[in-house]
Amino acid sequence: MKLLVIRFSSIGDIVLTTPVLRCLKHQRKGISIHYLTKLSYKDVVAANPHIDKVHYLEDNINAVIENLKGEQFDEIIDLHNNLRTMRIKKALKVRSYAFPKLNIQKWLLVNLKINLMPDKSIVERYLDTVKHLEVYNDGKGLDYFIPDNVKLADNDIPMSHWAGFVGCVIGGSYNTKKLPVDKWKDICLQSPYPVILLGGPEDREFGDMIAANDKLKIYNSCGKFSLNESARLVQLAKVVVSNDTGLMHIAAAFNKTIVSFWGNTSPEMGMFPYFGFNNVNDRRTNKSIVIENKKLYCHPCSKIGYNHCPEGHFRCMSDLNISKLPTHIVTIWNANN
């Protein structure tokens, strides 16, 4: 049986599809899995051993469709479920199954603060799309595979950090998902251990501002490393402190204990750190510590994010209580030593 699994973006969303790939590969004999994503996310899927072939979308969707037609798929597992995937499914003319996006429930939560979202990870909704194949959740959580040629030398990070460090993921796809710089400064200064700041080139200036407070203890790696090199740093971290962003899900794939900050989004939408079994409320885990301002009248205000706070005050992040964070860091660090 040959399947096409579709998820165009983004880093975290793609990582959250990995249990579907693993369970399909391990529980169905003779299955061939092809994966369609954007070319910009090649590094996220290229080393995944559960994928037999990856197809990449650039600008020309018609060219992609023509290539896919030649593969003669038996089924399409649509884990993105948008207009482009509908176009692809219509063109390929094979059986398809799409995950429920629950847009009405998300709208109610964001606009009216009525929570009708199921208390489960989006991973379990992804897995529902392959139930007809008698595939079940194996409870092993997320996967992330770093290519063998991605290695970090000792001189890639300061000697002061060789014995261990706290990985602070300061980036995010939208500004309203990023903890403010002053909060990060406080976190890093209060940490009793060395800190490495993690993010992309766009976070470099932000990281420099944080690291300026203590350049010996705080190392700004933002923009210095590729995605997979940053993933390796996440894998090496004793503690991961993160915004709601892709590296947070990569940390969950490495079974790291995570302290996560939530601004305009909410874990109740199903995108929380997932370890194979946990929900937000009825099945909690000590691997995930969530910090959010649940009592704020306007939280959550988006299922994705904004460049600026719609209300103008950004209290969902600026008012977060991080007073217990140093204790969390010490507790997690000691548990990992």
CATH class of 162-335: alpha beta
Q: d(Cα 62, Cα 311) in Å, to the nearest integer?
A: 41
pLDDT at 292 over 90: yes
180-192 mean pLDDT = 96
Stated as kind and residue range, the H or E segment containing 325 is helix 325-335
pLDDT band at 18 (very low <50, low <70, confident <90, very high): very high
Report the amino acid identity of residue 261. Answer: F
Q: What is the CATH number of domain 2-133?
A: 3.40.50.2000
pLDDT at 154 over 90: no
Q: From CA 310, how far away is CA 1, in angstroms rounded?
A: 48
pLDDT at 337 over 90: no
* Assigned token pair, 120: 């489960």
**In this structure, are strands 239-243 and 195-198 parallel, antiparallel, or unpaired?**
unpaired
Strand segments (E) across 73-189: 75-78, 95-98, 166-169
Domain boundaries of the chain, sorted by first residue: 2-133, 162-335
Same fold, 2-133 and 162-335: yes
The pTM of this model reads 0.97
Strand stretches in the chain, DSSP E: 2-6, 32-38, 53-57, 75-78, 95-98, 166-169, 195-198, 218-220, 239-243, 258-262, 288-292
Distance CA 124, CA 19 (A): 9
pLDDT at 28: 97
- Is the pLDDT score of 167 beyond 90? yes
Q: Is the pLDDT of residue 153 over 90?
A: no
Confidence category of residue 59, pLDDT binned at 50, 70, 90: confident
How many CB atoms lie under 10 A from the CB of residue 272? 25
224-231: average pLDDT: 97
So what's the pLDDT on residue 238? 97
Q: What is the mean pLDDT of residues 22-40?
A: 97
Instruction: State the pLDDT confidence band at 198, using cuts at 50, 70 and 90.
Output: very high
Q: Is 89 helix (H, G, I), strand (E, B) or coil?
A: helix
Distance of CA 21 to the CA centre of its chain: 16
